[in-house]
A and B are shown apart, each in its own frame.
Chain A
Amino acid sequence: QVQLVESGGGVVQPGKPLTLSCVASGFIFSSYSMHWVRQAPGKGLEWVAVISFDETHEYYAGSVKGRFTISRDNSRNRMSLQMSSLRPEDTGVYYCARGSRSYNTEFDYWGQGTPVTVSS
């Protein structure tokens, strides 16, 4: 069965960096685009970033562009989100989600999420 397991969340001071990871299993990782979606406490879902199945395309939400970098290692079934210059408004649960071969479709499987708190 498809499994997505996020890790790396925690408490970090404003302006500091943090890297999240997502390990996938149960499917051919290299055939699917992968996404990060976040949810601030008590708020709705916000799409953050996507990386294409072959790493040739990356797209970001305007709120994180220039500060976050998405990457993947198809040999290790792993995706990462490098977050820099973190702000309090980046606080929330970060979900890893599977897309399809095309990057602009649905998110059909989600991880359990990893919480990030940006606070001094």
Chain B
Amino acid sequence: SYDLTQPPSVSVSPGQTASITCSGDNLEDKYVYWYQQRPGHSPVLVISLDTRRPSGIPERFSGSNSGNTATLTISGTQALDEADYYCQTWDSNTGIFGGGTRLTVL
């Protein structure tokens, strides 16, 4: 089965840039999606098709996908960005999520 690997936690200072990685075999051959989940809330799509921001998502969120690694980048991180972030892709008609990364803004 196909696996996506994320770091369990990432810390960033307010105003700095946070990068969250997602690794998988030849991941660049697949589309990657990113979701933000604040505590007690449902997930929200923040990046689609590797790099696209859905309507209403701030410009500070961006994505990339190259080689075996996809990256979610949050520029000028704000306190309200503190949340769990999940990458997701598809393999053989099966949805695959990464284990999630807890972003702490301190």
Residues of A within 8 A of B (CB): 35, 37, 44-47, 50, 59, 61-62, 95, 103-108, 110-113
Contacts and interface: CB of A to CB of B under 8 A. Distances in A.
Contacts of B31: 105
Contacts of A111: 42
A47 B45 contact: no
| Most chain A beta carbons < 10 A, residue from B42, B94, B96, B98 | B42
B95 A47 contact: yes
25 contacts: A35-B95, A37-B43, A44-B84, A44-B98, A44-B99, A45-B35, A45-B43, A47-B88, A47-B95, A47-B96, A59-B93, A59-B94, A62-B1, A103-B93, A104-B90, A105-B31, A105-B48, A105-B49, A106-B45, A107-B45, A108-B45, A108-B48, A108-B54, A110-B42, A112-B42
B44 interface: yes
Q: How large is the interface on B (under 10, 10 to 19, 20 to 34, 35 or more residues)?
A: 20 to 34
Contacts of A110: 42-44
A108 B49 CA distance: 12
Contact of A61 (B45, B94, B99): B94
Contact of B48 (A37, A47, A103, A106): A106
B26 to A, nearest CB: 17
Contact of B43 (A95, A104, A105): A95
Given A105-B33, A110-B42, 13 more contacts: A37-B43, A44-B84, A45-B35, A45-B37, A45-B86, A45-B100, A50-B95, A59-B93, A104-B93, A105-B90, A106-B33, A106-B48, A108-B45
A45 B93 CA distance: 17
Nearest to A45: B97
Interface of B: 1, 31, 33, 35, 37, 42-45, 48-49, 54, 84, 86, 88, 90, 93-100
A95 B95 CA distance: 14
A46 B88 CA distance: 10
A42 B97 CA distance: 15
A37 B99 CA distance: 14
